[in-house]
Structure 1
Amino acid sequence: MGKAGRFVCIFTPYVLTIAALICLIVVGLGSTDRGTDSTRDLYFFRADLRDLNSSTSAQSSVSSVLDDLNISVDDGDLGSALDEVQQYFNIPDFYNIGLWGYCQGNVTSNDNYKVSNCSSPEAQFWFDPVEIWNLKALGLQNAIPDDLQDALNVYKNVSKWMSIAYIIAFAATGLEILLGITAIFSRWGSCVTTLIAIAAFLFTAAASATSTAMFAVIAGVFNDKIKPYGIEGHMGRNIYAATWLATAFSLAAALFWAISSCCCSGRSPYNHRHGRNRGGITAEKAPYTYEPVGDGYPSPHPPYQAAAPQYPAQQRPTSYEPFRHV
């Protein structure tokens, strides 16, 4: 097959690796200003506050709010705290939470979620409602229920691991593409690429499983604990489709890289025994055949016996060497 056959052999895993990388890029662009309107609508989790009851939507500055030292609510009374926040700040209708940041916006009259702006991308990002909802600015941190606070603490810690897993998955997949070029020339290149592909798959699968499980727990806590206050939690769909497609592509790529390391060597058909091409004009000598060994008649007798009869040159028979091994 040669180099052309080797290229065909690694074409499939190479394309699968590129597809996995594209899916990871889509996940990373979700809910950031770096992407298009479509990627800004990608989110792991959405906090929907449009049903939040409020007495006024007037917006004040943080400094003027801090001058009011009489704001207080009971511990765990998130509803009253959000009413106070809504009185001083214009809280958006929803927050979309992504891997590196969040986007916020309002719901239109056509019931469409319109993103207005997004936060700057941040490594190891986690959505802190106490900070983002201005509860901390009003000194109302105590309004977060204990169950919700415990879930947020878990989310904060797990989100760091999730971010690291996605970073490693992205880096390993990119390295897999680079090393895949060496796989064109030898199966050793495929072996090394296979090891990197396995690592990329493991971290991609771990990141996908972590994000799915973590935000499923957060959505459950939101809907169980604070839905009565007019806040609902929803998990996204498209971003999970992208991350699990990346996992599937990464697994398939690793399997095909492993197959390419076992076959399609990339060498031309070659007779290693005689160092000649099989399609050449030189025929291979079969074993166990008689072949001429030259002129003369070799004597089978020991030196002490009489010499064999001599023949004229033109009458000398041609002898054959029995069972010549190649």
Structure 2
Amino acid sequence: MGKAGRFACIFLPMALTIASLICTILVFSGQTNKDMSLPRDLYFIKINAKDFTADPDTILDKIPDNIEINNDLLNALQSVAKADDIKDFYKVGLWNYCEGEINDKGDEKITHCSPRKTNFWFNPIDVWNLKDTAAQKVFDDELKNGVEVYSKIAKWVFTAYVVTICLTVAEFIVGIFAIFSRWGSLATTIVSSVQTVFIIGAAGAVTAIYVSLLGVFSAVLSHYKIKAELGGSMMAVVWLGVAFSVASGFFWLISVCCCSGKSPHKKVSVEKTPYTYERVASPYLGGQQQGHQLGNMPASGHGTTGTAYEPFRHDSRV
């Protein structure tokens, strides 16, 4: 197949590796730049408090009579809303969160993004300045398990994505050597397998914690017209990166077994068939001098000279 065929064989897994790397970078970019549309649209979870912040004093009138609410929590939320400590929406990313306002037409405008922080997790008590209020105890009772688990897993998810992006870069670099040999493909397959384990683990964990957090927020805050929703675009990118990673690992493995890169045109050595005769060179009879001697011999009855007879050597090699 040759080097050109070898390159064509690894082109697909290399392209899939690059696609997985792009998806991982996009996950990192969510909510890191409020001036760019793509990072703004990528978030794990969004908390929409527009219906509450619009008129917190009348929120009690909008709650059905058959729903029990905690007045301490409501009073605390009303206080921070009046102090403008609760924004219309919050979008949570891997590094930080962004907050902003929603106008009457429903258009969103990000006004502030928190500083980027490793092992970040969204804590509503800190964000809404609910420390040392009656609401903090309520939140501790209602959100204790969910928030604690979320905070621990969020740290692992951040580490897993850092390892994933490093392994994806390594997979791409090692994959370059796969152009030249199957050993390069084998090394790349090993790196790709480890990368796939980490990206699947990170994607599974981040999906589980934010689905759980969505349920917790909905159960506790939905009565106060504060809603939460998953970021569909971010989740699509997360699992698309997983799909690209699994596919690239499969095709790297295929390239180990196929497409050697060696040319099929080799010099063929043909052995002589045993028990055949081959002509012996003239030195066997002493060259030209021997030929002259034979030429002086009497001619046969058919008029042939001595040079018409050529000795043959019997070869019985097997």
* Inter-CA distance 268–81: structure 2 relative to 1 (3 Å threshold): same
Cα 1:254–1:289 change in 2 (3 A) is farther
Q: Aligned equivalents of 1:315 and 1:323: distance in 2?
A: 25
**Correspondent of 2:276 among 290, 297, 304:** 290
Counterpart amino acid of 1:226? L
Residue 314 to residue 177, structure 1, CA distance change in 2 (3 Å): same
In 1, are the aligned partners of 2:100 and 2:110 still within 8 Å (CA)?
A: yes
Contact 2:218 2:227 in 1 (8 A): yes
Q: What code does the residue aligned with 2:41 have?
A: D
Take 1:205 and 1:240, find their aligned partners in 2: how far apart are those partners? 13
Measure the CA separation in 2 of the matches of 1:289 and 1:101.
86
Residue 294 to residue 169, structure 1, CA distance change in 2 (3 Å): same
Q: CA deviation at 1:214?
A: 1.1
How far the C-alpha of 1:90 sits from its partner, in A, is: 3.8
Partner residue, 1:302: none
Which residue matches 1:30? 30
Matches of 1:116 and 1:90, distance apart in 2: 13
Q: 1:322 to 1:106 in 2, by over 3 A?
A: same
Superposed, 1:230-309 pairs within 5 Å as 230-271=225-266, 276=267, 284-285=270-271, 288=274, 290=276, 292=278
TM-score, reference length from structure 2? 0.81
Q: What SS does structure 2 have at the residue aligned with 1:261?
A: helix
- Residue aligned with 1:46, SS: strand
Residue of 180, 183, 191 corresponding to 2:178: 183
Aligned length: 284
Structure 1 unaligned segments of length 5 or more: list them: 57-73, 297-311
Which residue pairs with 1:11 in the alignment? 11
Give the distance between the partners of 2:24 and 2:10, measured in 1 at CA.
21
Structure 2, unmatched stretches of 5+, are 59-68, 285-305
- SS class of match (2:316): strand
Q: Which has the higher helix share?
A: 2
Assess if the C-alpha contact under 8 Å between 1:29 and 1:35 holds in 2. Answer: no
The corresponding residue for 2:223 is 228
Give the counterpart of 1:153 among 143, 148, 157.
148
The alignment-based identity, stated in percent, is 38
Q: CA deviation at 1:141?
A: 2.3
Paired amino acid for 1:248: A
Task: Calculate the TM-score normalised by the size of structure 1.
Answer: 0.79
Quote the offset at 1:192 in angstroms. 0.4
CA RMSD of aligned residues (A): 2.7
1:215-257 per-residue CA deviation (whole Å, 9 max, x = no partner) reads 1111111111221122211001011111111111111111111
Go from structure 1 to structure 2 and tell me whether the alpha carbon gap of 1:315 and 1:207 turns closer, same or farther (over 3 Å shift): same
- On the 8 A contact 1:103/1:115 being kept in 2, the answer is yes
User: In 1, distance between residues paired with 2:166 and 2:35?
Assistant: 20
Give SS of 1:222's match. Answer: helix
| 1:129 counterpart (121, 124, 130) | 124
Q: Matched residues in 2 for 1:119 and 1:80: separation?
A: 26
> Which secondary structure does the structure 2 equivalent of 1:185 belong to?
coil
For residue 294 of structure 1, report the CA deviation from its aligned partner: 5.3
